Amino acid sequence: MAYELFYWDGLQGRGEFIRLALEMAQADYRDVSRSDAAAVQAFINDPTVTTPTFAPPVLRDGDVIVGQTAALLLYLGPRLGLVSDDERLALWTHQIQLTVADLVSEAHDSHHPIGVGHYYEDQKTEALLRADEFRNQRMPKFLRWFETILKRNPSGPQWLVGDTLSYVDLSLFQLVEGLRYAFPNASAALLTDYPNVVALHDRVAALPQIKAYVQSDRRTPLNQHDIFRHYPELDSTPN
């Protein structure tokens, strides 16, 4: 039976971390919103589900329903052959994915620091401050950490964990894509300091499955409804 991915229509969002894993593994899956956008909200509100998820993405695999992006990848990783079967390395992979999730939240909050219930224009003053801190402090701190863990990987800096591709490599690819879209100036300047991160991004981009997916109409382009949004006033070369 095909995996079913429930995520909002019209954006990559957190659903993209799941799509990349499913696409990489050439898994049989249905991106539910693509054919029936209303089905996502209906599923989230379904009163018969005994383990309802707080917010999408959600995956249904027969009787199994999993929410929270990192938990979803924890579930899918072994099934898709995208994580080590060494418990210690699998836990490390999960830890890295949780850190990806932290960065995703902070990138979102750089344009909506007060709350999602308010328009960007109504929190622009705060967004300018928050984005300044994000570009100058948080982005380099996260990127430095990814660069460090690549360099410290005992198997070499080709992949984040061990000597083979795992789902967090796909996630780091997606982070770089998002940061470059939202903060082109800051990213261009900062990424020169993190050559292993850039090399990993390029290595993932060149994987035939990912290349085909990115060029397909299954990949929604990043846009201003997404988590990573480009507001020119929030971007500049870091101090």
Ligand X SMILES: N[C@@H](CCC(=O)N[C@@H](CS)C(=O)NCC(=O)O)C(=O)O
Decide whether 68 or 153 has the Cβ nearer to ligand X: 68
Q: Which is nearer to ligand X, 55 or 199 (CB)?
A: 55
Nearer to ligand X, 13 or 140 (CB): 13
Please state the closest distance from residue 69 (CB atom) to ligand X, in A. 4
Residue 139, amino acid: M
Closest contact distance (angstroms) between CB of 74 and ligand X is 12
Minimum CB separation of residue 173 from ligand X in Å reads 17
Show the tokens assigned to 142. 């996260």
E strands within the chain?
3-6, 29-31, 58-61, 64-67
With contact defined as beta carbons under 8 Å apart, do 136 and 185 qualify? no
The site for ligand X (CB under 6 A) is made up of 13-14, 55-57, 68-69, 101
Partners of residue 238 on adjacent β-strands:
none
Alpha carbon 60 to its chain's center:
19
Residue 114 has φ and ψ, to the nearest 5°, of -85, -45
| Smallest separation, CB 99 to ligand X (Å) | 12
Q: How far is the CB of 16 from ligand X (least distance, A)?
A: 10
CA-closest candidate to residue 186, choices 228, 150, 221, 223:
228
CB of 104 to ligand X, least distance (A): 7
User: Cα angle vertex 229, ends 111, 141, to 5°?
Assistant: 70
Q: Which is nearer to ligand X, 98 or 128 (CB)?
A: 98
Of 57 and 162, CB closest to ligand X: 57
Q: Which is nearer to ligand X, 14 or 94 (CB)?
A: 14
Angle at 229 between CA 150 and CA 65, to 5 degrees: 70
Neighbours of 59 (CB within 10 A): 25
CA 233 to chain centre: 24
